[in-house]
Amino acid sequence: MLTNNPFAELSASISPSVMQTYVIVMIFLVVAGTLFDVIHKKSAKYFFDNWRNAKNKGSRQVSGGEMASLAMQTACVEVLTSAEFCNARRRIAHLLTMYGFVVYVIATIVMVFGYPTPATPTPSILPVLWHIGALMVCVGGYWFWFFIRVDVAAEGNSPFHIMRADLFILSLLASVTLGLVWSVLQAVGGSWWTSLFFGLYVIATTVLFVSVPWSKFAHMFFKPAAAFQKRVAEADGSRNNLPAPADKPEVLGSARRLPQNY
C-alpha cells in the first residue's frame, strides 16, 4: 500500500487534468485567502507600522549583513525547529504536524502533475513519502487535539468542544485521515467505499483550503515575520526600551521598595 500512487489509480475514473486543475484551484485559494486575511485584519499594515515605529526608537542601525544573519537565525530557530514553544510535547507535536504536512503536500503535487497515470511509473519513494507525511500529521495532530490543547490538558474540558480557531487543525486531520483511508481501500480493491471516501477526502481538503480566511492557516505566514522583527528590534536596541517585566521590577529613575515577600 505504501508504494501505491493513489492518484495514478484514480486516473481510471477521473481525468488527470481534473485533479491537476483541482490542485491549482486549491493553491489559488490559499494565496487569495491569505491576502484577504491580511487586508481584512490589516495585519500587514500593523506589522509594518510597528516595525517602522520600533526602528525609529532604535539606538543603532542594523547592517544588511546583520539583517541577513538575523533572517537565517529566524529560519533555523523559529521556523525549522519551532523554538518558540516552551512545552516540549507541544513543540514535538507541532513539528510532526508541520513537517508531515509539508512532505504530504509536496508529494501530492509531484504525483498529481508528474506521475498522473500508471503509464508513467511513479518512483516508489513518492507514495511512501505521501503516506508517511499523512501519518506524521495524524500523530502530531491527534496528540495535540486530545492531550495537549490548553483547554483540554489544563482546564479539563471535553476534547470535542470546538471553536472557530479549531477549524484548521480539524479540517487538516479530516483531510489526511480520509486520504489514508481512501488509499487503503483503493489498495485492497475497488468498491463503492473507495469512491465514498475519495469524495469525503475531496470535501475535507476543500474545506481546509477554502477556510483560510477564517482559520489559523494564514497565521503560519505571520509567525516567522514577527519572530524576525523581534530579532531586529533586539539588535537595533528598540526592544530594550520596553518596561521591565512585572515580576522583575528594576529601579527606573528613583528608588523603589519591593514588597517584603518578593
Higher per-residue pLDDT: 1 or 33 = 33
Query: What does the pLDDT read at residue 62?
Result: 72
Give the contacts of 84 (CB within 8 A, at least 6 positions apart): 78, 223, 227
Q: Does position 29 have pLDDT exceeding 60, yes or no?
A: yes
Grid cell, residue 104, equals 504530504
Listed residue (155, 169, 202) closest to 13, CA to CA:
202
pTM score, two decimals? 0.77
In sequence order, which residues have a C-beta less than 8 Å from that of residue 132 and are 6 or more positions away?
2, 100, 103
More confident residue, 255 or 184: 184
Residues 6 or more apart whose CB falls under 8 angstroms from that of 127 comprise: 2, 3, 4, 5, 6, 107, 111
Sign of torsion over alpha carbons 63, 67, 70, 76: negative
C-alpha cell belonging to residue 13: 475514473
Q: Give residue 166's pLDDT.
A: 82
Closest CA to 50 of 207, 172, 226: 226
Q: 6-54+63-238: what fold?
A: Fumarate Reductase Cytochrome B subunit (1.20.950)
Taking residues 168-188, report their average pLDDT.
Answer: 93
User: Average pLDDT in the 78-96 region?
Assistant: 82
pLDDT at 3: 86
CA–CA dist 33, 262 (Å, integer): 49
pLDDT at 215: 72
Give 37 or 184, the one with higher predicted confidence. Answer: 184
Q: Which long-range contacts (CB under 8 A, 24 or more apart) does 12-17 make?
A: 13/195, 16/112, 16/116, 16/117
Among residues of the chain, what percentage have pLDDT more than 90? 39
Q: Which amino acid, one-letter code, is at 125? A: I
pLDDT at 248: 44
Question: What does the pLDDT average to over 90-94?
Answer: 90
Q: What is the percent of the chain with per-residue pLDDT over 70, rounded to a whole number?
A: 75
- For 241-261, the pLDDT digits (tens) are 445 445 444 433 334 444 444
Look at residue 110 and tell me whether its pLDDT is greater than 70.
yes
| pLDDT of the residue at 252 | 38
| Distance, CA of 21 to CA of 95 (rounded, Å) | 30
Please give the pLDDT value at position 155.
61
- What b-and-e string marks burial along 12-48, b requiring 16 or more CB atoms within 10 Å of the CB? eeeebeebeeebeebeebbeebbeebbeeeebeeeee
- Confidence (pLDDT) at 239: 63
**Where exactly are the structural domains of the chain?**
6-54+63-238
pLDDT reported for residue 242: 47
Give the Cα separation of 5 and 114 in Å (integer). Answer: 11
Give the residue from 15, 251, 237, 195 showing the smallest Cα distance to 112: 15
Instruction: Say which residues have a Cβ less than 8 Å from residue 139's Cβ, sequence separation at least 6.
Output: 96, 100
* Residue 82 confidence (pLDDT): 76
pLDDT tens digits for range 141-170: 999 988 887 666 556 666 677 777 788 899
